[in-house]
């Protein structure tokens, strides 16, 4: 950390930083007034409802500066929020970003962070319309609010799963958790797994294809592990379900690393967080429609189980034996 | 800090805390889906635009646990955001609250904080619809997002002030800054001044009366001091202005304390932050209309100066001498 970089942020000050960020923001016709007034003013599309979600990210709790390069940290900070809008079947539109900045953070870190944040925004047609900047006495703190919209009939909640529905998941599971485990163990780890951990892709196109087809009964994004997250669907829907471990979609990177283990580390695919895939349920009559959605968006979708009327979520090995959870999804305060 | 209070938060865990908060939330028909799904779903009133603002509050930067009792901290956390919606002439509707909680924070602190937050919400018809909870390794961190709505023609920005307009302010100025100064100096301080500092009242009713009457050309809330905040109006409107120091509205608490100073501490009224009054501009033909608004909402409104076409903001003593700023409004990173 050079003293010149410290003095740079001090030299431009709070309003200088805001101007610096504002200068890079691209806007569109939905934004009546963006950054710079007491509140942003935006116009929803006619007939649409507002979708809102917020996430707070703290240094040394959610991320480490030594691991997360600022560009990918910026991308991920927004990606996890966009993922929440995708999980509701929504169209992401606007974001607010608050940053509490420690005195030792160089200005170039903020520049690279914003570059990443705005690249993720641009890829998803999200406009940064406001936020807050302040000094932090203890680590970088980020708070991202995302707003999206959707027609009432296309909003998908966690509560609609029906007994007999198929349980589906997009993409592959366990990559982020394996990337984290290998990094923590000091093992060599491929760029592909690290990218899943540090630069997850929100499944907006998959969600929109599914909701436009009207085939989804319930949906959630997989941030705490598929067992915990399908558990949320089950709880909100008053149902249960059984996940077939043999059906879990695993990437070739995951499988190649697995060869080094005594057996495939299914617990990473079942309980590892931060994959940001979508888990959804759909009537079995929609299997062909979902196959069409898959072709439309180019994201794999895999059937991994069946919703049951009896409460409780289980995972079953191909030989019929029951998986015993090694750990639950991550929770705070424990 | 008793170990039982520490273990309480650990005992109920993240989801227990969310349930505890959710159980106290009152909702209304505008909320299609509140806390508990990936995103909240709300319906704006027909024809209205969305107003959004966010504020981050950090322990030992924005507040001190030794000063702010949790109930009033909860009230103020939301009040400052509601104030931003008021400053746009908007109707506050929904909020998101993120809390990063240090391990030494007793559960009763969070309970009292939420009690205060929800009391401020109830007084302003704001519904808590979501948020985030996580553990903090360094102090309590709060992030509040507020959403409001307003008809396009009633939204008031900072940019509409015209040369010749009157400059107005609601309520009284300098009370919060005087309360802070006396507290910092270890001097006795009246409950009224402390309440201005720790439990400010957002001027929603005043803002709505003014915007419904259609008399305001520009508006901002006074969080950084009237000189700095009118300066923002001037900058956004491409104008300047002169504030008459003799016209500044001062409370009787402020004046009685001032008697102990060698002269009236005008710098606290001009540059002291956190009063959360509204500064607005209006054509001089609207003075009687504004008097009517004042009666309607019961909040005093005082003319304190005139907008000028030449840029630059000054403050002038009754004898015509120019005020020399002792300090600017608070900014971070300096």
Q: Which residues pair with B279 in a beta bridge?
A: B169, B220
In this model, does residue A310 exceed pLDDT 60?
Answer: yes
Q: Closest approach of chain A CAs to the CA of B258, in angstroms?
A: 32
Please answer whether residues A111 and A119 qualify as being in contact, where contact means their C-beta atoms are separated by less than 8 angstroms.
no
pLDDT of residue A261: 66
pLDDT of residue A4: 40
Contact A96 B147 (CB under 8 A): no
Please answer whether residues B136 and A57 qualify as being in contact, where contact means their C-beta atoms are separated by less than 8 angstroms.
no
In this model, does residue B1 exceed pLDDT 50?
Answer: no
Helices within B88-160 (DSSP H only): 107-123
Residue A304's nearest CA partner among A270, A260, A253 is A270
Kindly report the pTM of this predicted structure. 0.92
Please answer whether residues B300 and B249 qualify as being in contact, where contact means their C-beta atoms are separated by less than 8 angstroms.
yes
Contact B44 A33 (CB under 8 A): no
**Ranges A114-123, A183-192, B160-169: which has the least confidence:** A183-192
Contact A62 B157 (CB under 8 A): no
**Ranges A43-57, B159-173, B179-193: which has the least confidence:** B179-193
Helix (H, G, I), strand (E, B) or coil at B58: strand
Residue A21's nearest CA partner among A82, A73, A104, A99 is A99
Q: For residue A188, is it within any domain?
A: yes
A38, A150, A153: best to mutate for the B interface, most B CBs within 10 A: A38
pLDDT of residue A172: 97
Measured between beta carbons, which residues in chain B are less than 8 angstroms from residue A131? 54
Helix and strand numbers, DSSP H then E, in chain A:
10, 12
Q: Which chain B residue has its CA at the smallest distance from A58's CA? A: B136
pLDDT of residue B34: 92
Give the residue numbers spanning the domain of B194. Answer: 157-316
Q: Closest approach of chain B CAs to the CA of A13, in angstroms?
A: 5
Q: Closest approach of chain B CAs to the CA of A270, in angstroms?
A: 20
**Ranges A178-182, B54-58, B73-77: which has the least confidence:** A178-182
Q: If you search the block for the tokens 């923001």, which residue do you land on?
A: A25
CA distances from A260 to A167, A255, A256, B233 (A): 30, 9, 8, 64
Q: For residue A322, is it within any domain?
A: no
Q: Closest approach of chain B CAs to the CA of A252, in angstroms?
A: 29
DSSP annotation of B186: T
pLDDT of residue B320: 93
Condensed to tens digits (0 to 9), the pLDDT of residues B26-44 reads 999 999 999 989 999 999 9
- Cα dihedral A116, A122, A125, A131 sign: positive
Q: Do A114 and A229 belong to one domain?
A: no
Contact A139 B135 (CB under 8 A): no
Q: Do A74 and A172 belong to one domain?
A: no
Residues of A44-53 as b/e, b for ≥16 C-beta within 10 angstroms? beeebbbbbb
- CATH number for position A57: 3.30.1330.10
Residue B142's nearest CA partner among B211, B189, B201, B73 is B73
Helix (H, G, I), strand (E, B) or coil at A321: coil
Residue B197's nearest CA partner among B227, B169, B177, B221 is B177
Measured between beta carbons, which residues in chain B are less than 8 angstroms from residue A130? 52-54
Contact A157 B96 (CB under 8 A): no
Q: Do B140 and B195 belong to one domain?
A: no
Q: Do B148 and B170 belong to one domain?
A: no
Please answer whether residues B147 and B207 qualify as being in contact, where contact means their C-beta atoms are separated by less than 8 angstroms.
no
In this model, does residue A204 exceed pLDDT 70?
Answer: yes
Q: Do A179 and A280 belong to one domain?
A: yes
- Domain's final residue, options B153, B188, B204: B153
Measured between beta carbons, which residues in chain A are less than 8 angstroms from residue B50? 41-44, 50, 147
Residue A333's nearest CA partner among B284, B304, B134 is B134
Instruction: Look at chain A and report how many structural domains it folds into.
Output: 2
């Amino acid at each position: 950390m050079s003293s010149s970089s410290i003095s740079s942020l001090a030299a431009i000050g709070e309003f200088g930083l805001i101007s610096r960020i504002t200068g890079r923001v691209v806007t569109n016709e939905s934004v009546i007034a963006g950054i710079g007034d007491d509140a942003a003013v935006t116009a929803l599309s006619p007939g649409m409802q507002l979708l809102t979600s917020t996430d707070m990210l703290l240094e040394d709790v959610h991320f480490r500066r030594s691991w997360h390069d600022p560009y990918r940290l910026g991308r991920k900070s927004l990606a996890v929020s966009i993922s929440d809008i995708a999980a509701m079947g929504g169209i992401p539109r606007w974001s607010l970003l608050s940053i509490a900045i420690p005195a030792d953070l160089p200005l170039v870190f903020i520049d690279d962070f914003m570059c990443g944040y705005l690249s993720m925004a641009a890829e998803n047609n999200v406009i940064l319309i406001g936020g807050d900047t302040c000094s932090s006495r203890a680590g970088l703190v980020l708070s991202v609010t995302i707003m999206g919209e959707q027609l009432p009939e296309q909003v998908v909640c966690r509560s609609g799963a029906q007994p007999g529905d198929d349980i589906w998941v997009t993409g592959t599971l366990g990559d982020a958790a394996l990337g984290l485990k290998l990094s923590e163990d000091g093992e060599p780890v491929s760029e592909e797994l690290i990218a899943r951990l540090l630069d997850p892709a929100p499944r907006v196109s998959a969600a929109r294809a599914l909701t436009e087809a009207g085939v989804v009964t319930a949906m959630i994004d997989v941030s705490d592990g598929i067992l915990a997250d399908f558990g949320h669907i089950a709880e909100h829907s008053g149902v249960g379900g059984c996940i077939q471990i043999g059906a879990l979609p695993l990437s070739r990177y995951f499988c190649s690393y697995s060869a080094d283990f005594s057996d495939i580390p299914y617990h990473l695919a079942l309980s590892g967080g931060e994959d940001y895939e979508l888990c959804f349920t759909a009537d079995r009559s929609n299997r062909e429609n979902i196959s069409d959605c898959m072709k439309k968006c180019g994201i794999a979708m895999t059937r991994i189980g069946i919703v049951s009327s009896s409460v409780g979520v289980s995972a079953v090995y191909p030989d019929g034996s029951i998986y015993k959870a090694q750990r639950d999804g991550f929770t705070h305060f424990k």
